[in-house]
Amino acid sequence: MTARLEASRAAVPWRRHPGAALLALAVLGGAVLAPAPARADADFNMIAAASLAVVGAGLIGDHIRGNDVWAEGPEEPFRFAVGAGAHNVRIDNETDRGNETVSMVRVEARLPEKLWRFTPIAGLEVTDRGAVYAYGGLALDVFFGERFVVTPNAAAGYYSAGEGRDLGYPLEFRTGIEAAYQFGNGSRLGVAYHHISNAGLGDRNPGIETLTLNYALPLDMLFGR
């Protein structure tokens, strides 16, 4: 596994090649720019600004080093990620049912195939109040050095409130960013912050934020191959 990862790095000089991530983020995450509560706008804007700063730093670094900014991403292993943390970490002033911080878990598949530089992702989040969010989207790895990786991501999916907070519409959009350390075996340990919103599609759009600790493991390691 380690040898394959090192070979991938050597074959494709992409580790500092974030490219045009703004395009993918706009396609999947841009809808949340629709009218929403001011607090939700602020959280989305914070995530968007952080993502653009990360992408911009990598892009400038590529240009200075003379790297091919438009190079495709390298081969990566199929990673299975698990996470745990808090759902609705920023409680607003609304008095609707479920407006509280609750615990949550996440499972996520990070596919090895690349859409140019973007990693397709699919996952499921469940809270201790029975809220469920199933989603799919794209993520972009931006490496700073060989081990530290920041990953802006955007997704869309189906949300069911259960006994938790009603987010106003079944279709919800998620934007976020993860900062992680990648070990020599390809596994990653990181922290992620996400904003979930229906982009004004529903009669109400409270929007919520999640904060999780994540561990992503290459599938080959999981099955001992």
Domain locations along the chain = 2-222
Cβ(164)–Cβ(180) below 8 Å: no
Q: What is the pLDDT of residues 192-210, one digit of tens each?
A: 999 999 988 988 888 899 9
What's the chain's Rg over C-alpha atoms?
A: 18
- Strand, helix or coil at 144? strand
Q: What is the pLDDT of residue 58?
A: 67
Distance CA 113, CA 211 (A): 27
- What is the average per-residue pLDDT within 171-188? 95
Contacts of 139 (CB under 8 A, 6+ apart): 110, 118, 119, 121, 151, 152, 153, 178
Q: What is the pLDDT of residue 62?
A: 66
Q: What is the pLDDT of residues 81-130, one digit of tens each?
A: 999 999 999 888 777 888 899 999 999 999 998 888 899 999 999 999 99
Q: For the chain, what is the mean pLDDT?
A: 81
Cβ(169)–Cβ(205) below 8 Å: yes
pLDDT score of 64 more than 60:
yes
Q: What is the pLDDT of residue 69?
A: 62
- Strand, helix or coil at 89? coil
CATH of domain 2-222: 2.40.160.20
Question: The whole model's pTM is what?
Answer: 0.79
Strands (E), 49-91: 79-87
- Dihedral angle computed from the Cα positions of residues 35, 39, 44 and 46, in that order, rounded to the nearest 10 degrees: 140
Q: Which amino acid is at 177?
A: I
Q: What is the pLDDT of residue 39?
A: 55
